[in-house]
Structure 1
Amino acid sequence: MIEEIQIRDLGVIESARIELDRGLTVITGETGAGKTMVLTGLGLLLGGKADLGAVRPGADSAVVEGRLVPPPGHRALDVAVDAGALLDDDALLVARTVSTSRSRAHVGGRSVPQGLLGEIGAELVTVHGQSEQLRLRAPAQQRQALDSFAGAAHLAAVAEYGAAHAARQDAARALARWDEDTQAREAELERLQRALERIDALEPRAGEDVELRAEAERLGNVEDLRTAAQHAHDAIGGAEDLDAPEGAVALVDQARRSLAGAAAYDATLQEWSSRLDAVSYQLSDTLTEIGSYVTGLEADPQRLDQVHQRRADLSDLARAYTDGGTLAELLDFAAAARERVGALTAPGAGREALAAELDRHTAAEREAAAALTASRIRAAEMMAAAVDAELAGLAMSGAQMTVELTPRDDLGPWGAEDVELLLTAHPGAPARPLGKGASGGELSRVMLAIEVAMARAQAEAGERTLPTFVFDEVDAGVGGQAAVEVGRRLAELARHTQVIVVTHLAQVAAFADRHLVVMKTSGTGQDAVTNSDIRVVEGTDREAELARMLSGDATSAAALQHAAELLERPVMGP
């Protein structure tokens, strides 16, 4: 609900603090006193368009601040927190500053776009003024009103149909893309198949590049390898041209025999002798292996050319199909290409599969649409009956509202039918679209009847928390007993949620739980500026305000008596 509004330098209001509460709050005051500025300020808090000319003369800017208290877990809190707003005991502190050149918005101490205020406001407050009555005349809004009236189970059917409709559209687009992309898909398949033919012809193996590089190094350096190995062989086995012709094996054996002769006298020598035994065996084995290596090491120019060619072929192919040009990337590309070719050529992966998918989603959409239509038919009858009952209480007993469902030629985003509210204003009159068959006053009462009927249905079902309702001149064009019934319906609606009403009728104001009066004081002198103040009236002050509204004279004895009677009527009933 809206807990508090503070207004500074907006129109005729220099400074005003409005404390609001649950139930029905009415705002009254003389014409030109500034009632409109109160709603203008509220509209700014809810993201409405700023009128830069509304800044009070002599002021640099107008400021409107408010404290909004959503129910726990309400989506408006999530929207605000996602924007970086800080909460004040689970309340939203919102502010709007309007100067002659720009407008700024804040939520929870954070500067935000004006649109965010609008998003939060739409979640928390529903405003019914002249523009909102025009909105009710739009078919889309009438359909939404019916769907909201129908309750949570129906809204679930709306959501189910919406999902089915979206799925069918996705399937249709996928099939259309398939038809449009046939040439590109065929070109892709040909390109991948050609690449795989080249790769398969070469038959690359994982790790082959490392093996080929090692073989190329060996074959390209045969003489260096032979020389190094032969020198090592001579050093171990001995050679005539060396400084120690007996070689490492002979020297180690000589050392081992020297130690073995005295090993019986010292265990340390025995240990060294054992170590030299092991060294001798290793040297002998190594000598044999080196000899075999040298014997088998032969230059093979033909094989070297083959290795170089193989490496070049692999490198060229890898560079042709990968960014990095490595064998590993080439093998990955080949695996992905095979998978893609399989997808493009597999049975059931072509147009037939997409067409079957579209048929499946089309059937699901039609089934969901039929269920939604049946639910709307039931809801339309219930809504019409509920609104008619309210209209009878609003001195429109001869009026009837019809919720007409017109089948569409195709299934739209909202279902298989268009929804239109028709009003029969009096017996014998034709049923006409709500926007054409209702005067301003009648439309106000129809709107109130719809909101009361919806609020009652939703409250009885315990389905959702209602928003705050703001009515601007909802009683326009009515008077007498009709005005009393308007007030009674507003009070009924206020049993379920916060309702704020700007009214000029005492019969309506008498039903208020909280009565605010906008009072105007005119300055003196050539440059004087009119100022308005807002205060709560109770007791005799409230009777005087009702008397003023009834007769224009707050001191009229007859009007005061009538005011007292009106204040008793809400408790006593009609």
Structure 2
Amino acid sequence: MLEEIRIENLGVIADAHVSLGRGLTVVTGETGAGKTMVLTGLGLLLGGKADPSAVRTGEVRAAVEGRIAVTPGSAVHERAQEAGADLDDDGSLVLLRTVAAEGRSRAHLGGRSVPQSVLTDLAEHLVTVHGQADQARLRSPARQRAALDSFAGTEHQATLAAYRADWSERSRLEQEIEELTTRAQDRAREAELLRLGLAEVERVEPQPGEDHELAAEAERLGHAEDLRAAAGLAHDALVGDPDGVADPGAASGVDRARRALEQAGSHDAALAALAARVADLGYQLADVGAELAAYLQDLEADPRRLEVVEQRRAALTQLTRSYGEDVDQVLAWAEQAGLRLLQLDGGGERLEVLAARHGELSARLAEHAVALTDRRRRAAATLAQAVSAELAGLAMAGAQLQVVIEDAPAPGPWGADVVEMLLVPHAGAPARPLGKGASGGELSRVMLAIEVALATAPESGAHRPPTFVFDEVDAGVGGKAAVEVGRRLARLAQASQVVVVTHLAQVAAFADTHLVVTKSTAADTDTVTDSDVRAVSGADRVRELARMLSGQEESAAARTHAAELLELSGMGR
């Protein structure tokens, strides 16, 4: 339930605080005083579109803050927790929306910044708003069907939810089936290319890292003579020629140095240490010399082996040109290609599985559709009777609402029915669609009658938000009809919180709380105005009702009439 709203710098409202209680609250005031801005502020709190032009002239931003009472475990409570909002100690939740004159709007919930969509989600569970635009939407068959579905009760809603879930799944299956079918040739072509590629890889049988190893071997075989000469020269330089006469080699000189140092080392520790280092150098030279000898013994110039290596490298190059930069990438491609080929080859089996599931869903949808049609037909008769009874009380004697259920040309996402509401405005008149034959005043009363029926009829299992907001619901009505509109709003307010913006005293007289929006022009300007919202009671309320009746709040006749309205409404203070 909405507890209060504070508005700053929105339209003509500089700073206003609106306290909302249970029951019926009406908002009245002179034309242009800012009544609509109250609802505009409420719309912002409920995630409505922000209009920078609504920011008060000369101000940087507008702000609307609201407080709502939250029931633990409710959908609102759970959604607020998901958004990370903090509740106040009394369990209430604060909503804040700011609109910059030049820039974006921002939303906050329970002290946390949230996307605008979070407020929109909460609004679905908090408030039902009815205005002139909603009356126009009531002409839509989709809105008429939604009203009937809401009236049909929780069991019907559960069936409808199951139907819609199955419909969505079947639609996804149909898209996949169509894709598999229409792309059959493309899939076959892709599979053939993958088979050719895998066959080529299988024929060559590349091994991990093989291309790099062969490249190194080819380099070695191609320069065998140069390698032999270099290794031989290095070997002779280190160990000398075989006879050791012409060139004793570096190893021989190191050995002589070692012996000389060892002989003198007994007299000087420094020379002994150097002798040990020279001895290590000798060992290293001997090891390198031995390895060079082994290298020369193993090194062979083998033209046939080189030819084999080059042929193998050419085969591997063919693979890397098509499937990767090196052999390792080719092997990775082959692994992925194998998996993809399994998917493509399994397309036929997948189609069979999808077709079977499609058949199951179609059968289940047919069962759900029959159940939906049956419940809609029963609910249609009950709703038509309840709304017709309400219309009789709204000064539309002889008016009847007819709810017609017809077969749709083809089942759709909401079932196999077309729902249409027809209005018989008076006895003997033909039934005409709401979208064609109802005036604005008649639509206002039909809409109110439907809401009262949804909220109060014992046959209805409809779930309704705890707060209703009506903007000019009494448009196009007056006299006795206006009194009955007020009476029905008061009846609706017995079970819900109802907020109404009205210009009719006959409606305002039924309010539990009467709020008046007043406007005064600032002394130094003719364009910027200040508005205030105050609750009236007693003599002030009589004066406001008198103003609404005749435009002359001080008129004795108007005030007498206003007092009579209060007395007749049972709301006299």
What letter corresponds to residue 17 of structure 1 in structure 2? A
Select the residue among 168, 186, 190 that pairs with 1:166. Answer: 168
2:148 matched to 1:146?
Answer: yes
Over 3 Å counting, the alpha-carbon distance change for 1:210 and 1:518 in structure 2 is closer
Q: Once the 2 structures are TM-superposed, how far is the Cα of residue 204 of structure 1 from its aligned partner?
A: 1.6
Contact 2:151 2:460 in 1 (8 A): no
Over 3 Å counting, the alpha-carbon distance change for 1:526 and 1:357 in structure 2 is closer
Could you give the per-residue CA deviations for residues 242-282 of structure 1, whole angstroms, max 9, x where no partner exists?
A: 8889x99xx9xxx9xxxxxxxxxxxxxxxxxxxxxxxx9xx
Could you give the per-residue CA deviations for residues 330-363 of structure 1, whole angstroms, max 9, x where no partner exists?
A: 1121122223233323473475555555444444
The SS at the match of 2:499 is: strand
Counterpart in the other structure of 1:270: none
Counterpart in the other structure of 1:449: 449
2:187 matched to 1:190?
Answer: no
Q: Which piece of structure 1 moves more, 447-456 or 149-158?
A: 149-158
Counterpart in the other structure of 2:275: none
Could you give the per-residue CA deviations for residues 171-211 of structure 1, whole angstroms, max 9, x where no partner exists?
A: 32233333433332233223222222322221222343354
The SS at the match of 2:20 is: coil
Measure, in 2, the Cα distance between the counterparts of 1:360 and 1:452. 40
Counterpart in the other structure of 1:3: 4
Could you give the per-residue CA deviations for residues 100-159 of structure 1, whole angstroms, max 9, x where no partner exists?
A: xx7864434999999998787677544323232111111122222223333454334333
Over 3 Å counting, the alpha-carbon distance change for 1:105 and 1:218 in structure 2 is closer
* Structure 1 unaligned residues grouped into runs of 5+: 256-279
Q: CA RMSD in A?
A: 5.3
The SS at the match of 2:404 is: strand
Contact 2:45 2:64 in 1 (8 A): yes
Measure, in 2, the Cα distance between the counterparts of 1:524 and 1:338. 84
2:205 matched to 1:206?
Answer: no
What letter corresponds to residue 534 of structure 2 in structure 1? R
Could you give the per-residue CA deviations for residues 16-65 of structure 1, whole angstroms, max 9, x where no partner exists?
A: 5141313321122355655455546656766468596x898xx5469753
2:538 matched to 1:535?
Answer: no
Measure, in 1, the Cα distance between the counterparts of 2:309 and 2:43. 82
Contact 1:45 1:96 in 2 (8 A): no
The SS at the match of 2:348 is: coil
The SS at the match of 2:403 is: strand
Counterpart in the other structure of 2:107: 107
Q: For 1:316-335, what aligned pairs fall within 5 Å after superposition?
A: 316-322=318-324, 325-335=325-335
Measure, in 2, the Cα distance between the counterparts of 1:132 and 1:22. 24
Over 3 Å counting, the alpha-carbon distance change for 1:572 and 1:521 in structure 2 is closer
Measure, in 2, the Cα distance between the counterparts of 1:26 and 1:182. 65
Over 3 Å counting, the alpha-carbon distance change for 1:111 and 1:459 in structure 2 is farther
Measure, in 2, the Cα distance between the counterparts of 1:148 and 1:216. 82
Counterpart in the other structure of 1:516: 515
2:94 matched to 1:91?
Answer: yes
2:18 matched to 1:19?
Answer: yes
2:178 matched to 1:176?
Answer: yes
Counterpart in the other structure of 2:137: 135
Over 3 Å counting, the alpha-carbon distance change for 1:297 and 1:554 in structure 2 is closer
What letter corresponds to residue 194 of structure 2 in structure 1? L
2:398 matched to 1:398?
Answer: yes
Contact 2:27 2:501 in 1 (8 A): yes
Q: Which piece of structure 1 moves more, 450-459 or 201-210?
A: 450-459
Contact 1:455 1:466 in 2 (8 A): no
2:153 matched to 1:155?
Answer: no
TM-score calculated relative to the size of structure 1: 0.74
Contact 1:18 1:534 in 2 (8 A): yes
Over 3 Å counting, the alpha-carbon distance change for 1:457 and 1:469 in structure 2 is farther
Over 3 Å counting, the alpha-carbon distance change for 1:523 and 1:459 in structure 2 is farther
Counterpart in the other structure of 2:266: none
Contact 1:5 1:64 in 2 (8 A): no
Q: For 1:81-480, what aligned pairs fall within 5 Å after superposition?
A: 90-96=93-99, 105-108=105-108, 124-216=126-218, 218-220=220-222, 222=224, 240-241=243-244, 297-322=299-324, 325-346=325-346, 348-349=348-349, 355-396=355-396, 398-456=398-456, 463=463, 465-474=465-474, 476-480=476-480
Q: Which piece of structure 1 moves more, 176-185 or 444-453?
A: 176-185
Contact 2:52 2:103 in 1 (8 A): no
TM-score calculated relative to the size of structure 2: 0.74
Measure, in 1, the Cα distance between the counterparts of 2:233 and 2:9. 102
Could you give the per-residue CA deviations for residues 423-464 of structure 1, whole angstroms, max 9, x where no partner exists?
A: 233343333212334333222121112122323479996956
The SS at the match of 1:403 is: strand
Measure, in 2, the Cα distance between the counterparts of 1:7 and 1:490. 29
Measure, in 1, the Cα distance between the counterparts of 2:437 and 2:347. 60
Q: Once the 2 structures are TM-superposed, how far is the Cα of residue 369 of structure 1 from its aligned partner?
A: 3.3
The SS at the match of 2:65 is: strand
Could you give the per-residue CA deviations for residues 293-346 of structure 1, whole angstroms, max 9, x where no partner exists?
A: 766653321111211221232133122122xx1111111211222232333234
The SS at the match of 1:348 is: helix
What letter corresponds to residue 147 of structure 1 in structure 2? D
The SS at the match of 1:206 is: coil
Counterpart in the other structure of 1:265: none
* Structure 2 unaligned residues grouped into runs of 5+: 260-282
What letter corresponds to residue 502 of structure 2 in structure 1? T
What letter corresponds to residue 470 of structure 1 in structure 2? F
Over 3 Å counting, the alpha-carbon distance change for 1:125 and 1:303 in structure 2 is same
The SS at the match of 1:91 is: strand
Count of paired positions: 540
Over 3 Å counting, the alpha-carbon distance change for 1:443 and 1:215 in structure 2 is same
Q: Which piece of structure 1 moves more, 512-521 or 346-355?
A: 346-355
What letter corresponds to residue 410 of structure 1 in structure 2? A
Contact 1:509 1:546 in 2 (8 A): yes
Q: For 1:502-513, what aligned pairs fall within 5 Å after superposition?
A: 502-513=501-512
Measure, in 2, the Cα distance between the counterparts of 1:457 and 1:219. 99
Measure, in 2, the Cα distance between the counterparts of 1:297 and 1:531. 103
The SS at the match of 1:430 is: coil
Measure, in 1, the Cα distance between the counterparts of 2:300 and 2:423. 107
Q: For 1:543-558, what aligned pairs fall within 5 Å after superposition?
A: 543-550=542-549, 554-555=553-554
Over 3 Å counting, the alpha-carbon distance change for 1:477 and 1:304 in structure 2 is same
Could you give the per-residue CA deviations for residues 492-549 of structure 1, whole angstroms, max 9, x where no partner exists?
A: 3334443221223333212212112234668999969987654321122112323444
